[in-house]
Structure 1
Amino acid sequence: MKFPKIGDIATTTVVSIENNKSISEAIGIMFDSVHRNIVVLDGDIFRILSVSDILNFKIRNIDLNQQLSTLELPAIHTVDKEKSVLELVDYLNNEIEYICVTNSDGSLYGLVSHTDITVSIDPETLMDNFCLQDFLKLSKRAKWVKKETKTIDLLLDMIRERSDSVMVVEDLKPIGIFTTKDIVKIIN
């Protein structure tokens, strides 16, 4: 079976910002594009700024006018767009959500996610490289919270658990979903 190149499955419309811009400018771009993460361009290193990071800044009263370059943001793994998707199977075992795809000169070409990788690899090949526990980790159930939960407590839980969404329930019945996109709206 022929596997596609990483560049073939990458999302090439990446929301990004230079690291000499402010946290506030990054929040504005995230809000305008309705994204929960933004790639911070730091020379040949690509970093990620997430909604969780922004919540931490708000809670710790960090000045949102400071430059992104002053922050210790995590670097994103990179892979050349010409490599085979099969070379990314090992990333599925990690907590890494995104991988930056680069051109041959090291510039940003796009992003790939766990989902992009999974859907582009033959299921039999995946089964050879995974055990049941790995698949269960990929599809973990969303956390449930009572509708009476205070927003600040919910936000702190989402940061601590690195959760993207929670199900809001009343009498054990789902009545809504709160996501990191909602957090961006609250912050802005």
Structure 2
Amino acid sequence: MKITLKDEFPSIIDVAYSEYKKYKHISEIMSTDLKYIEQERTMLEAAKSMGEHHIGSLLVKGQDRPLGIVTERDLLTRVIAADKKPSEVRVFDVYSPRLVTIRPQATIREGARMMIKQKGKLVVTEERRVVGIVTASDLIKSLPEAPETSVLVKNFMTKKVRAVDSEEKIIDVAKLMGKERIGSVIVVKNGKPWGIFTERDLLSKVIFKDGSLEERVEKFSSSPLITIEPDWSIHRAAKLMVSRHVRRLPILEDGEMSGIITARDLVEAYSV
């Protein structure tokens, strides 16, 4: 990404807006379009609902408040990696009853710290009512241009990058992701990094559309790769993620894959 004059010499308005974002509240970035599922439903139904709405979690419906939360990671680790059929597993069997809650008046910085410390999406509550939810993607949209966001991605990237051949079956790739608790793999074609396959691809491109898990992973991967360099700032990486609607960026150094950074990694960098 080319650095512009605006980046080098921000206007007074730009600086003022950046200062404002430092104190932005969770209520300003949370999603209020909450999606629920009954605990008696199957994980196949949960996966299709998440895939349809392009989200990674559903609140489990209770009488007065949610019973808990079920996520795309639950599908991978507790169903597919365990050799179970999503159509035969109930949401009740895998959802987490622990909700990470936060007040709508909390700042973005407080939200970032809580997300990393508690390791979960943030459920926004007010007077015991759930009023919103905040994901890592929501947080990075509002990262201010503060000194802490000028740190480099190489200090927070994951150096171990899992790669699979483009000919591998989706079911095998999904099991690998579930067993290793990772949200994506780099897809290699003709010996070179060609694309990326994510847990969201599994939900939205395969399960929601009744695709076969026996298909080759290449068919449902995203290509070409959107890559960055290790010396990028986390703020610059966040801006690219938001503009390209992705949550992961592979990192190339001298033409070689040296790591990957996720939206959650950027939140962690900001929260330190």
Instruction: Compute the TM-score of the two structures, normalised by the length of structure 2.
Output: 0.54
Q: Identity percentage over the alignment? A: 24
Instruction: Name the structure, 1 or 2, with higher relative contact order (CA <8 Å, separation 6+).
Output: 1
Q: Could you tell me which of 108, 122, 141 is aligned with 2:130? A: 108
Distance 1:150 1:176 in 2: 15
- Distance in 2 of aligned mates of 1:71 and 1:60: 14
1:79 aligns with 2:99: no
Unaligned 5+ runs, structure 1: none
2:75 counterpart residue number: 54
Compute the displacement of 1:62 (Å): 6.0
Distance 1:27 1:88, change over 3 A: closer
Who is 1:120 aligned against? 142
C-alpha offsets along residues 16-36 of structure 1, whole Å, 9 cap, x if unaligned?
Answer: 223344434323322332334
Q: Is the partner of 1:157 in helix, strand or coil?
A: helix
Matching residue's letter, 2:202: I
Bigger strand fraction: 1
1:132 CA displacement: 5.9
Change (3 A) 1:161 1:133: farther
Report the Cα distance in structure 1 between the residues aligned to 2:33 and 2:90, rounded to whole angstroms. Answer: 24
* C-alpha RMSD over aligned residues: 3.5
Contact conserved, 2:100 with 2:118, CA < 8 A, in 1?
A: no
Secondary structure of 2:79's counterpart equals helix
Contact 1:6/1:84 (8 A) holds in 2: yes
The two structures have a TM-score, normalised by structure 1, of 0.73
Which is greater in Rg? 2
Residue identity matched to 2:72: V
SS in 2 for 1:81: coil
* Matched residue count: 184
Q: Is the 8 A contact 2:58 2:71 kept in 1?
A: yes
Q: 2:174 aligns with which of 150, 155, 180?
A: 155
Distance 1:37 1:140 in 2: 27
Q: Is the 8 A contact 1:46 1:100 kept in 2?
A: no
Structure-2 separation of matches of 1:4 and 1:46: 29
1:37 aligns with 2:60: no
What are the ranges of 5 or more consecutive residues in structure 2 without an aligned counterpart? Answer: 1-18, 211-272
Residue 171 of structure 1 is matched in structure 2 by 190
Residue 108 of structure 1, CA deviation: 1.9
Give the Cα–Cα distance (whole angstroms) in 2 for the partners of residues 178 and 159 of structure 1.
13
Q: 1:147 to 1:74 in 2, by over 3 A?
A: farther
Distance in 1 (CA, whole Å) between partners of 2:102 and 2:154 is 22
Q: Using the alignment, how far apart are the partners of 1:6 and 1:88 within structure 2?
A: 7
Query: Which amino acid in structure 1 is aligned with residue 177 of structure 2?
Result: M
